[in-house]
């Protein structure tokens, strides 16, 4: 083989390697992680909302610097939900985008880091009624779990929900919102009533874990999701969902993982 042919073959091999899905050079860092396991959880979706991997958002207009772009890569999870758009009660839409496979059976009490970044707009605050209450019109993180409560042993399902505090910024990407130290948590259904960590009397992260650690079998995870509704109109995006040492980077071509050391 001539020297020119050898150089050409080497260059072609480099191009092929750089285009392999999941390689750092093809995607700017991070690894693709079972993209087939992430998506809209259909049984938890009401109406015709949008929860789709997308590029951006970049902005809003006039915003520059790190907060003008997604915190990881080029993309995010875009979410759009409407109110008064269904014939149900309540009439608003609901959507969960998550993973029903890879977290199944993991220990709830093993959760020690949870959170995300959000693109919040001033319009969303107005949709939520304005003021301090409207500022908390944001997506939530939801863990469907087996609670294994000794006080209610026949109940094998609840959703552990994080409701964020208001984002410190609007019309741009937020810093990391730490669900273990900010916002509130509650359990749905009978588990919320038994533990006292319900939507009317929410708990801190440590309190809800303590309530689930009641001496019986350890609670386990069914699924993990970012969700919105049913409540107010919201149009925005989420990126960098963190569960313990793994950050899930939402990109238009899939979900990648980044390990936090």
Q: Are residues 195 and 173 in the same domain?
A: yes
Task: Give alpha helix (H) positions in 79-204.
Answer: 122-127, 131-135, 189-195
Distance CA 235, CA 232 (A): 10
How sure is the predictor about 112, in pLDDT bands with cuts at 50, 70 and 90?
very high
pLDDT digits (tens, 9 = 90+) for 114-134: 999 999 999 999 999 999 999
Q: What average pLDDT does the chain have?
A: 89
**Whether the predicted pLDDT of 11 surpasses 50:** no
Nearest to residue 186, comparing CAs of 156, 166, 209? 209
Lookup result for tokens 């993180």: 141
Residue 207 burial (10 A CB sphere; 0-12, 13-18, 19+): middle
- Note if the bond before 65 is cis, omega within 30 degrees: no
pLDDT at 7: 37
Q: Are residues 50 and 6 in the same domain?
A: no
Q: Are residues 131 and 231 in the same domain?
A: yes
pLDDT at 13: 36
Distance CA 86, CA 72 (A): 35
Q: Are residues 21 and 83 in the same domain?
A: no
Q: Are residues 9 and 85 in the same domain?
A: no
What mean pLDDT do residues 212-240 have?
Answer: 97
Residue 181 burial (10 A CB sphere; 0-12, 13-18, 19+): exposed
CA 23 from centroid of its chain's CA atoms: 23
**Whether the predicted pLDDT of 66 surpasses 70:** yes
pLDDT at 173: 98
Distance CA 168, CA 29 (A): 28
Q: Are residues 5 and 125 in the same domain?
A: no
**Whether the predicted pLDDT of 1 surpasses 90:** no
Q: Are residues 15 and 128 in the same domain?
A: no
pLDDT digits (tens, 9 = 90+) for 175-200: 999 999 999 999 999 999 999 999 99
pLDDT at 62: 94
pTM recorded for the entire structure: 0.87
Q: Are residues 133 and 16 in the same domain?
A: no
Q: Are residues 57 and 175 in the same domain?
A: yes
Q: Are residues 98 and 158 in the same domain?
A: yes
Q: How many domains does the chain have?
A: 2
The CA-to-CA distance between both ends of the chain, in Å, stands at: 46
CA 146 from centroid of its chain's CA atoms: 20
Q: Are residues 26 and 130 in the same domain?
A: no
Q: Choose between 32 and 110: higher pLDDT.
A: 110
Distance CA 163, CA 128 (A): 14
Distance CA 91, CA 127 (A): 15
Neighbour count for residue 203 (Cβ, 10 Å): 19
Q: Are residues 1 and 127 in the same domain?
A: no
How sure is the predictor about 15, in pLDDT bands with cuts at 50, 70 and 90?
very low
Give me the domain span that covers residue 110.
Answer: 33-259
Provide the β-strand partners of residue 255: 250
């Amino acid at each position: 083989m001539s020297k020119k042919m050898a150089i050409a073959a080497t260059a072609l091999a480099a191009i092929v390697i750089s285009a392999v899905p999941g390689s750092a050079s093809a995607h700017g860092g991070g690894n693709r992680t079972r993209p087939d396991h992430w998506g809209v959880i259909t049984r938890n979706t009401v109406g015709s909302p949008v929860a789709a991997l997308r590029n951006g958002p970049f902005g809003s207009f006039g915003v520059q610097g790190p907060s003008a772009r997604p915190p990881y890569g080029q993309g995010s999870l875009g979410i759009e939900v409407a109110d008064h758009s269904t014939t149900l009660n309540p009439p608003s839409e609901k959507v969960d985008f998550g993973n029903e496979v890879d977290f199944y059976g993991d220990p709830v009490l093993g959760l020690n880091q949870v959170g995300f970044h959000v693109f919040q707009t001033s319009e969303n605050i107005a949709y939520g009624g304005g003021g301090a209450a409207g500022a908390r019109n944001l997506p939530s993180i939801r863990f469907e779990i087996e609670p294994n409560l000794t006080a209610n042993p026949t109940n094998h399902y609840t959703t552990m929900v994080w409701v964020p505090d208001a984002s410190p910024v609007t019309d741009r990407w937020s810093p990391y919102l730490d669900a273990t130290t900010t916002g509130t948590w509650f359990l749905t259904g009978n588990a919320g009533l038994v533990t006292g960590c319900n939507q009317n009397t929410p708990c801190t992260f440590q309190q809800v874990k303590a309530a689930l650690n009641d001496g019986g079998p350890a609670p386990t995870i069914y699924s993990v999701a970012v969700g919105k509704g049913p409540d107010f109109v919201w149009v925005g995006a989420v990126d960098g969902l963190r569960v313990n040492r793994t950050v899930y980077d939402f990109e238009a071509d899939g979900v990648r993982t980044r390990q936090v050391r």
